[in-house]
Structure 1
Amino acid sequence: MIYGARLFTSRTYTLLRQLSRHKYSYTYTKSDEPLIPLTIGQLLERRAVDSADTMACLSMHQNISKTYRQLNEDVNKLAKGLKSIGCGKGTRVGIWSPNCYEWVVTQYATAKIGSIMVRGQGCVGYVNYQLYLDNIQVNVNPGYQALEMDYCLNLVGCHTLICNQKFKSTNNCEILETLEPNILKNANGSRVKSSVNTTNYMCITETDCPMEVIIIHTIYQLNRTASTKIPTLENIIVMNGTDGEELAPKGMTRFDEFIDRFDGTDSRDTCFDFDESVNIQFTSGTTGKPKGATLTHFGIIQNAYFSGKRALEGLTDKILCISPPLYHCFGSVVGGIVAAVHKGTLVLPAPVHNATETLKAIEKYKCDVVYGTPTMFIDLLNANPLQFNTSSLKRGFMTGSPCPRHLLEAFLKSVPTCEHILIPYGTTECSPVITFTSIHDSEKHRFESVGRPLEHLEAKIVNTSTGQITPIGESGEVCTRGHH
């Protein structure tokens, strides 16, 4: 249950102290630090000035290294390119891809043109959010099959889809052809006559490192009929697999030739209101139908700032190794946006989690933080971190499921330079972090709790039957409010 934010007054603090004194399950974190009125696009533009030569993104599997200045230039080019093919206000842009540099560029570019990123995770069932979705980027789990893609693309009315050609054993193009039979015919060069909508086809391929993005010169037209399964889909961007599958079809030009038609100067962020929605993310649906959580520029920026302020305290380099998927808030917000807010570096070791590649990335880029779920940390232990130079690693962030104490202790023992493993807790609806442990917490609290609420946040536990705040020690439902 999420409540709206409110301002604290002296009377409020008096009441809160009374609750605490009576041992109720209620807590808050007071702060005199002001909130940050920025959009995500404005954040990147600020970093391109004050941290221009700081590395923004290092994608090891693509051999890509970009500073904040270079990232902002690529984002501006893509933003202008997307506008040229009809993206912007009133459109829905989807990305169906594992972790890669292009994912990061797309995230910022769509934010700059006012699109909303919609993330899908394990969608099954149907909930009609059509009336609420406008200017959307649909961010889709790369493991989706035809059922999930049909659900997501039609649910949000997707206008433009960016996807990799293959993901593991799944041929994404075949899935798209199942949903829209004309897609691959057009991509292979056979025209389909129609007087309705034009379609631009792009493709990212890995002929050499780094990954290249290419676009067909010819603008094709989809055959729009009453039987079309995805009536709103106009633009298809097809990325080749990140592990060197077959080349893209002939007759295409490289993406850099496409974006070179646009300059990398300021693209004039069209989203100036930090309270605007930027992300509609579908939760996993493990407890029912998938839920569409709408996140704002403001909520994400505050969450990233206060999460990073607590979790990165004492670190100087802030080189963050991200194994979790970017389509999840843990990867994109607690990872990517935290890096940008705190002038750090985002490191992508592989398209999907790979323990050996993660350890190689820590060694190569001297990462001081590694992210992962408990299962990912188990994989890191099984990959024998002593075989790699992990002396730069100072901290780990673990979340996603219960984090057993013995696992934290085992990892700290295997990587002696790693001083702390901190645990964030939250929900997608909360942008996503509610609480975070701290390096100043006692060992018991670091290992056996999820910490305190972020600054300016309240949290309580209520009885699910009565809605009343429970005494300390009793279980119930977590409720929170603040700048989410």
Structure 2
Amino acid sequence: MCQIRKNDLVGVWLTNRFEWVILQYATARLGALLVSINPLWKLTELEDALNVTPVKLIITMKRNEVTKTNHEQLLSNETRKIQKSQVLYLEDGWTYLRDSAANVTDTELSEIENSLQFDDAINIKFTSGTVGRVKAALLSHHNILNNAYFTAVRLGYTEQDRTCVPVSFSHCFGTVCGIHSSLSMGGCLVIPSETFEIEKVLTAIEHEKCTSLLGVPTMFMSILNSLKNRENYDLSSLRTGQIGGAFCPRETMELVLTQMNIKQMTIGYGMTENSGCIAQTFVDDSLERYLSTVGKALDHTEIKIVNQNTNEVVKRGEIGELCTRGYHVMLGYYENETATKQILEPNSKWLRTGDLAVMDEHDYIQVVGRIKDLIIRGGQNIYPKEIEEYLTEHPAVNEVHVIGIPSEKYGEELMAWVKLNSDSRTEPVGEIDLIEFCLDQISSYKIPTHWKFVEEFPRTATGKVRKAEMRQISIKELINRK
């Protein structure tokens, strides 16, 4: 087995397990870089990642029961990018590691620790973008620990809090906002299961008396649906938590506050390149703040909204690109200076998020969409998020995503992909119903011209909707109809 030294890359290809937490702290103390590999990835995605970050060692399990993938067989394939001697399987136990540790002297450990700096890179997280090849964000001690600590401050954590984290540790949300936020305050980290399982999450909250729960909106939707149909769980211990990773519908947030009784739930907004969280609501914010904003910048960080063409700061209430600066901004993309310069201004260290947002007079941020998702129809700028938020208020709609498709007349037309609630399909709901729902509520030019009803959406391994793929599918289907 290879020896791991400072600056070596160690790939961790695991579901949520306690070993993940140990490995994060062990590699950080050693000065090695933990490379977070999504446990849902298959061979092609793994090879793409390893092409970007040539790890010295992969720590994984022989079989992933979540994806039903035989990792041992996959990693012994001739096309793999890593030698067999550089794979450690958890099923083989930790005996070898313990025995090897006996050969490391206290002097060696002391020398390593004395060489470490606060801004050394210790973690690589892969971006979960919906287009293009994967990029590897390089995060430091300073990035992760400060982001985690001030997220915990915003949540009001103390050593008495017990945080339930069903979010994947391969993502910043699970690692930074989950593991490190909890432990930075001396609290208790509760890992309910290796992957998200509703019943195990609810059981963990009840049995462990969890006070905080993290999750993406679809997790909370699933939990709420489960509570309708199953025996009651005692969730009275829950006080706070964080919803992030995607837009949270108004109805879902209202039910979290009322049905789950999490009165101090917060909304978080961030990205991998910002080591987790950029902005967050406060535990005592009003309901309207929860529903319409992502809160304010984390303590001791900066946010500005700029005109994407001139880079000048826009007036309060005007839409522009959200830029941020502070301890949470990544060091850069691993060995990709070109991509780093496109997003991170070299002198000022402002990071361009690619998100369109508005800042109000009280410094609260409302994210209105992605620059690349902006639709221009007949010269009118249309932000899909506004239409998506409105359509999700229809009782039959479970989830909706709006894209732009080419139009000879207007340049672009709107198309809505709609997933209906399962209990709504007995009473047919079609595009006429949804168009009528939009009439007199939103401008006519914002009402989608084309509609597609689906069971699921194309998604990345982290659950983000692939709008570029949706656009390609839609264009092809429309051409075939002609």
- TM-score of the pair, normalised by structure 1: 0.62
Shift, 1:301, TM fit: 1.2
Alpha-carbon contact 2:161-2:187 (below 8 Å) kept: yes
Shift, 1:382, TM fit: 1.7
Q: Which residue does 1:348 correspond to in 2?
A: 191
Amino acid at match of 2:212: V
Shift, 1:351, TM fit: 0.4
Q: Which residue does 1:255 correspond to in 2?
A: 94
Q: Distance in 2 between matches of 1:464 and 1:341?
A: 37
Shift, 1:265, TM fit: 11
Matched, 1:284 2:183: no
Q: Which runs of 5+ in 1 are unaligned?
A: 1-83, 118-137, 181-228, 241-251
Q: Which residue does 2:296 correspond to in 1?
A: 452
Corresponding pairs, count: 319
Q: Which residue does 1:325 correspond to in 2?
A: 168
Q: Which residue does 2:69 correspond to in 1?
A: 170
Alpha-carbon contact 2:16-2:194 (below 8 Å) kept: yes
What root-mean-square deviation, in Å, do the aligned CA atoms of Structure 1 and Structure 2 show? 2.3
Q: Distance in 2 between matches of 1:140 and 1:238?
A: 15
Q: Distance in 2 between matches of 1:333 and 1:352?
A: 17
Alignment partner of 2:27: what SS? helix
Alpha-carbon contact 1:394-1:420 (below 8 Å) kept: yes
Matched, 1:108 2:5: no
Residues 363-408 of structure 1: CA deviation (Å, up to 9, x unaligned): 1111000110000001111221861111111112100100122111
Q: Which residue does 1:482 correspond to in 2?
A: 326
Alpha-carbon contact 1:461-1:469 (below 8 Å) kept: yes
Residues 98-147 of structure 1: CA deviation (Å, up to 9, x unaligned): 00011111111111111112xxxxxxxxxxxxxxxxxxxx2201111111
Residues 1:348 and 1:378: Cα distance change in structure 2 (over 3 Å): same
Q: Which residue does 2:337 correspond to in 1?
A: none
Q: Which residue does 1:400 correspond to in 2?
A: 245
Shift, 1:88, TM fit: 1.4
Alignment partner of 2:322: what SS? strand
Q: Which residue does 2:390 correspond to in 1?
A: none
Alignment partner of 2:177: what SS? helix
Residues 280-308 of structure 1: CA deviation (Å, up to 9, x unaligned): 21101313322221111011111111111
Residues 1:179 and 1:332: Cα distance change in structure 2 (over 3 Å): farther
Alpha-carbon contact 1:275-1:298 (below 8 Å) kept: yes
Equivalent residue for 2:156, pick from 312, 319, 322: 312
Alignment partner of 2:40: what SS? coil
Alpha-carbon contact 1:311-1:436 (below 8 Å) kept: no
Amino acid at match of 2:311: G
Q: Distance in 2 between matches of 1:339 and 1:449?
A: 24
Amino acid at match of 1:239: L
Shift, 1:156, TM fit: 1.5
Alpha-carbon contact 2:118-2:140 (below 8 Å) kept: yes
Alpha-carbon contact 2:257-2:263 (below 8 Å) kept: yes
Identity of aligned residues (%): 34
Q: Which residue does 2:335 correspond to in 1?
A: none
Q: Which residue does 2:235 correspond to in 1?
A: 390
Equivalent residue for 2:90, pick from 239, 243, 246: 239
- TM-score of the pair, normalised by structure 2: 0.62
Matched, 1:99 2:45: no
Alignment partner of 1:288: what SS? coil
Amino acid at match of 2:23: T
Residues 1:231 and 1:317: Cα distance change in structure 2 (over 3 Å): closer
Q: Distance in 1 between matches of 2:221 and 2:69?
A: 26
Q: Distance in 1 between matches of 2:105 and 2:280?
A: 38
Q: Which runs of 5+ in 2 are unaligned?
A: 329-482
Residues 1:175 and 1:257: Cα distance change in structure 2 (over 3 Å): closer
Matched, 1:336 2:171: no
Q: Which residue does 2:216 correspond to in 1?
A: 373
Q: Distance in 2 between matches of 1:428 and 1:454?
A: 15
Residues 1:175 and 1:405: Cα distance change in structure 2 (over 3 Å): same
Alignment partner of 1:423: what SS? strand
Shift, 1:97, TM fit: 0.8
Residues 348-367 of structure 1: CA deviation (Å, up to 9, x unaligned): 00000111100100111110
